Structure 1
Amino acid sequence: MNDLEKIIREHQGTFDDFEPSESHFENFKQKLICKKNRRLPNFLKVAVIITFVLLSGLTGYQIRKIQTHEIGLGNVSPEYREVELFYTSNINSQINMIRKLGDFSNIAQQQILSEELNDMDMRYSQLKKELQLHPDDDRIIEAMIEYYQVKTSVLNKIIEQLYQIRKQTKSNLNVSV
């Protein structure tokens, strides 16, 4: 390193004599202008940022969706899948029958029925969450089966009452004729 410093000090005059030519500064200025033109326009930057935000949001949504995936009774075993399928199809047919039989011109009656069914469904959702945390707990599985049994029993009682109401209205119509 000392040799290099020594050479530079000895030849300092030759280094200081030379100035760059006028065209050198012009060429340098042109290169700077060309580099400025290569920059992305602002709207492209905004588009890239928006795309990044959307993709990261979608990725986060997918991850959250995977994490909150609820397991049901059918995910425990094939036998329970059959039980769940039996009860859900039975419940759906009972609800359809109630809709056919019931004259829900009274909005309050319809609202009470839907609130009760929603309340039962919320309890079942809680059981699903517990099953997700403890998939091997037989008490939760039994509670889920009991939920289905209670719901079908309640729906059967509603159907029976609707049949009785229908019978009474028919007999009242026959008596009045």
Structure 2
Amino acid sequence: MQKDIKNLLQDFNEEDFELSVNHEAKFQKKLTQELHPKKKSFKWLYVAASIVLLIGLSITFLPKNITDVPVKKVPDYISLGNVSPELKTIETYYTNSINTQLSQLDLTKENKELFDGYFAKIGELTKEYKSLTDELNTNGINDNIINALIGNLQLRLQLLKRLQKQLNELKNTNQNETQTV
């Protein structure tokens, strides 16, 4: 119900009004409550979601039984890093980059199928890397095997970067769809 201010002021008689002592403080308090409502914090929800995600991933990728994990005791096992310091640097760089890419991935229900496809291929490449390392141990140091090992690491890193790119595109597409709705 709107009222015209002119009509209200016509009948106004100026009287002395006394304001309470802490009138200004009360006014400031009400003003700040109106202008700055308290926002709810969801930080605890983000922490809980991260913990659930980590537990879910660990359950998915860890072996079901401890007896399923083969224990190898190979004292003189040659790996790419044992061949030379330069190759150790290369291997360390790629493994650290792969681990970094893995830590930056966000698994959701919408992208689980995409994850499964990429991780199946990465699993195959990991098995191939192990077989190439075994071949390096049986046949000795060979340039072709070393190049294949480095190529394998590069391919795994490229796959993870491509997965991250597709996840970002999927996320942006979902955000755009929700904004248009």
Normalising by structure 2, what TM-score? 0.55
CA shift, 1:112, in A, is: 3.3
Task: Give the match's secondary structure for 1:70.
Answer: coil
Larger Rg: 1
In structure 1, the partner of 2:138 is 133
The counterpart of 1:96, out of the listed 76, 90, 103, is 103
In structure 1, the partner of 2:83 is 76
Structure 2: how far apart are the matches of 1:108 and 1:172? 20
Percent identity of the aligned residues? 26
Normalising by structure 1, what TM-score? 0.56
1:85–1:160 Cα change, 3 Å: same
Amino acid at match of 1:91: I
Task: Give the match's secondary structure for 2:104.
Answer: helix
1:172–1:91 Cα change, 3 Å: same
The question of 1:162 aligning with 2:170 is answered no
CA deviations on 1:61-107 (whole Å, 9 max, x unpaired) are x9x8236x532100100110000000000001111112x2x324675
Structure 2: how far apart are the matches of 1:108 and 1:164? 15
Unaligned segments of structure 2, at least 5 residues: 1-70
Unaligned segments of structure 1, at least 5 residues: 1-61
**Contact 1:73–1:141 (CA<8 Å) still a contact in 2?**
yes
CA shift, 1:108, in A, is: 4.8
Structure 1: how far apart are the matches of 2:93 and 2:122? 18
Structure 2: how far apart are the matches of 1:106 and 1:173? 17
